[in-house]
Structure 1
Amino acid sequence: MYTSLQGTTGKGRMQTRTQSAIRKLDFHFENSPRRIVANRNCPEINLVGLSIGPLEEGNDYEIHYWVAAELEKSGIAHFREDEKLNMNILNKIHWTERVQTVGQISKLPDEFYPKLRRLISELENEPNKGSERILEQEKTRHLARDIVNSRLRKIISIASAPAQTEQILKNLTGEERFLYGRLYRFINEWRTQILEERSVEE
């Protein structure tokens, strides 16, 4: 019973640290500047400690992601095409991951994982979806799983090898660097313990 409880506690701590790391990266994404295009003229909007606009129809503006997302929901503005993920980008990434070997790891688009989560969420929460949109949602999830699993295999592979150079690590996202660091330490500690000679008294 004690061993089981201890294992559960350790798992809980690991899960908490992982969630904390991903939430920090997500918070940074939410507050990072994004480019939007105004759909219509809009007077200045005053929030607590923040003023937005005035906006003129057709003009580009740079604004925090969370504000831009609210403006898009309200129909006041929309994200520029290059600010969001789409199926074309996912298909290209998926193809690249499939043709590369486990030892190769390419650079993903900036802030890929926060954008991926939001793309999936948008498709799932879209009201009155027709059959085509449902198929697109399923395909997006399929591509996302394949990409994540491919990246996981590569990260496990490089974490099992000697310490990597910055030339390799620079192609990892923040989420992947966090995972690599934890795996590298764990695998090396495990390898050391397995190969370490111990006395009979121990």
Structure 2
Amino acid sequence: MKKVEVIQDFPEVELVGRKLGPFKEGEEVEVRPWEASILEERDFARPVRDFSLTGIRKVLIREEKSSRLEELPSSFYRTVSREVRRLRERGEIEKAGEVEEAVESLVNFRIQKLARMIISSVDPGEIPAEEQVLANLLAQTLSFWEHSVGRVFEKNIDKEAGIHAKKVWRNIQGIVGEQADIQG
């Protein structure tokens, strides 16, 4: 179950054979994650987690102090995006910019940690989908690069081995002559 705060009245509706609502503005309710997602997308509710500037700064401070990735809700980026959009719609442009700056700082810390984890082959665990996409791309790129570098070294080894083999053959020919049949 997921706890959300109702931000506008919601009438009782039936979804997939289950009644949802009625909910009053300001009420905190627990609903299934998919129901919460629908309510949030339609601007009827928001997660109870604090996605205000203060809340995001608290997450940023925890992220700065921790050596591992701090847990973020799976809907973090979508929720923050909706919050910034709401602030802009209400004319709070400066506050929206401050939220964006705090999130940008948070993202920078998380990208660095995520990259280190991928390079070290450490599983980042449960992370938002947007970060999972980045982790997958980093892992694929790193794997491709390692494979490419490995092929370069193999070619150089083969080439170098061939050069040494030719030198050895010339030395043998110089010792035994053109009719060098050492098996006979």
Summarize the Cα distance change of 1:194–1:121 in structure 2 as closer, same or farther, 3 Å threshold: farther
Normalised TM-score (structure 1):
0.55
Paired residue total: 152
CA displacement, residues 147-174 of structure 1 (integer Å, 9 cap, x when unaligned): 222222233333334x33x5xx337555
Taking the aligned partners of 1:41 and 1:141, their CA distance within structure 2 comes to 28
Question: Structure 1 residue runs of 4+, over 4 Å off?
Answer: 37-43, 56-59, 125-128, 171-174
Q: Residue 100 of structure 2 is aligned with which of 141, 161, 181?
A: 141
Q: In angstroms, what is the RMSD of aligned CA positions? A: 3.6
Taking the aligned partners of 2:137 and 2:147, their CA distance within structure 1 comes to 15
Summarize the Cα distance change of 1:180–1:89 in structure 2 as closer, same or farther, 3 Å threshold: farther
Summarize the Cα distance change of 1:108–1:39 in structure 2 as closer, same or farther, 3 Å threshold: closer
1:195 pairs with 2:153: yes
Unaligned 5+ segments in structure 2 are 163-184
Summarize the Cα distance change of 1:136–1:81 in structure 2 as closer, same or farther, 3 Å threshold: same
Report the identity percentage: 12
Contact conserved, 1:41 with 1:54, CA < 8 A, in 2? no
Summarize the Cα distance change of 1:39–1:86 in structure 2 as closer, same or farther, 3 Å threshold: closer
Contact conserved, 1:38 with 1:60, CA < 8 A, in 2? yes
Equivalent AA in structure 2 for residue 122 of structure 1 = E
Deviation at residue 188 of structure 1 after TM alignment: 2.6
Deviation at residue 189 of structure 1 after TM alignment: 1.9
Q: Residue 85 of structure 1 is aligned with which of 41, 45, 51?
A: 51
Structure 2 counterpart of 1:155 = 114
1:105 pairs with 2:68: yes
CA displacement, residues 59-116 of structure 1 (integer Å, 9 cap, x when unaligned): 724141243226644xxxx44523x53323321232244455xxx33222231xx322
Query: Which of structures 1 and 2 has the bigger CA Rg?
Result: 2
Summarize the Cα distance change of 1:196–1:155 in structure 2 as closer, same or farther, 3 Å threshold: farther
Summarize the Cα distance change of 1:80–1:160 in structure 2 as closer, same or farther, 3 Å threshold: closer
Summarize the Cα distance change of 1:42–1:152 in structure 2 as closer, same or farther, 3 Å threshold: closer
Q: Residue 53 of structure 1 is aligned with which of 20, 35, 42?
A: 20
Contact conserved, 1:46 with 1:52, CA < 8 A, in 2? yes
1:196 is paired with a residue of what secondary structure? Answer: helix
2:31 is paired with a residue of what secondary structure? Answer: strand
1:185 pairs with 2:152: no
Normalised TM-score (structure 2):
0.59
Structure 1 counterpart of 2:168 = none
Summarize the Cα distance change of 1:144–1:124 in structure 2 as closer, same or farther, 3 Å threshold: same
